[in-house]
Amino acid sequence: MYVIKKILNNNALLAFDIEKKSEVIFLGKGVGFNKKIAMEEEAQPEIKKYYLDKDTEKGPAADLIKNMAPIFLEIAHEIIKEAEMKFKTLDNHILLSLADHIAFAIERIEGNLNFENPFTDDIRCLYEQEFEIALKGKAVLEEKTGYVISDDEVGYIALYIHSAISDTKVSQSMNVAIIMGEAIKQIEKDCNMTIKVGTFSYSRLMYHFRFMINRVMTDEILHSDMIEYTKTHCSYAFEVATSVCNKLEKELGKTFSEKEVSYLALHIERIRMMDATDLE
C-alpha cells in the first residue's frame, strides 16, 4: 500500500511505500490524474515505480526531487524504458541523476553555454548500444521540450545508461572512455600514425576494450595465453597495454590478468603493423 505525498503532474506523483518505508515515484500516463495528497494507492502493474532508497552521485535522492521539474523525470523515464527494452535489466535508480543532467543540459542551451565533450567519439565506440538508446532519448527530449541537444550531451546520457547496466558509477564510465582515448592517442604519437575515428581499426580496438572490461568486471576467465609471445615479440605493445590496464585497475578496482594484458597487446601490435590505407 502507498500513501500519496505529492502530485507532481498528471503523469507523475510522489508516494510513500508503507511496507518498505521508502519514498517512491510513480511515472505513467494519467497516474496523477484526480489524485489527492494523503490518498492511499494500490500498485498498478502498468505504472513504473522508482524508489528513492539510494543516494545519487549528486547527493540524497530526496534533495534532488525537491526542485526537479516533472518533465525531466518523464524524459528520463522514457529513456530508461528504451534501455530496458534493449538490455532487459538495469538499475533504475539512475532516474533522478539522469533527469538532473537533462535539466542542466536544457539550462545550458537556454543560457547559450556551449558544451563540448572531447571524448564523445570514444564514448560512441566504446558504448555503442548505449549511445543508440541515448539518441532515442534525444528525440524524446526534443518532442517534449522543443530543445535539441548536441551529440556531446548524448554521450553523457549514454554514460548514465551504461552505468545502470554495468553497476558502475557514471564518473567511472567516463574515465574508462578517457583512458581508452588517451591510449589511442599515445599509440598514434609513439608510432607516428593516425587512427581515424570510425575506421575499422579504431572500432575494432574499442570493441576489444569494451569486451575486455566486461570480462574483468564479471570475473570471466580469458583462456587465450600469449604472455611470453607478446613480451618477446611485441614489447612496445605490451608496455602500452600494461599502462592502460594499470590505469583501469585503479579506476575500476578490478585486477587485469597478464593474459588480458597480452591479448590487448596483440590488438595494439596489429594496428601498429597496418599500412596507412588500413587506418583510413
Fold match, 54-167 / 175-279 = yes
Q: pLDDT averaged over the chain?
A: 88
Distance, C-alpha 19 to centroid of its chain: 32
What whole-number distance in Å separates Cα of residue 137 and Cα of residue 82? 8
How high is the pLDDT of residue 80? 95
Q: Which fold has domain 1-51?
A: Transcription Regulation, Sacy; Chain A (2.30.24)
CATH class of domain segment(s) 175-279 = mainly alpha
- Percentage of the residues of the chain whose pLDDT score is greater than 70: 98
pLDDT one-digit tens code per residue, 173-195: 888 888 888 888 888 888 788 88
Inform me whether the pLDDT recorded for 43 exceeds 80: no
pLDDT one-digit tens code per residue, 129-161: 999 999 999 999 999 999 999 999 999 999 999
pLDDT one-digit tens code per residue, 224-262: 788 999 999 999 999 999 999 999 899 888 999 999 999
Prediction pTM value: 0.82
279 confidence band (pLDDT: 50, 70, 90): low
How high is the pLDDT of residue 255? 93
Ranges of each domain in the chain: 1-51, 54-167, 175-279
pLDDT one-digit tens code per residue, 56-71: 777 777 778 888 899 9
Domain 54-167 has CATH 1.10.1790.10: yes
How high is the pLDDT of residue 168? 80
- Provide the grid cell at 79: 529513456
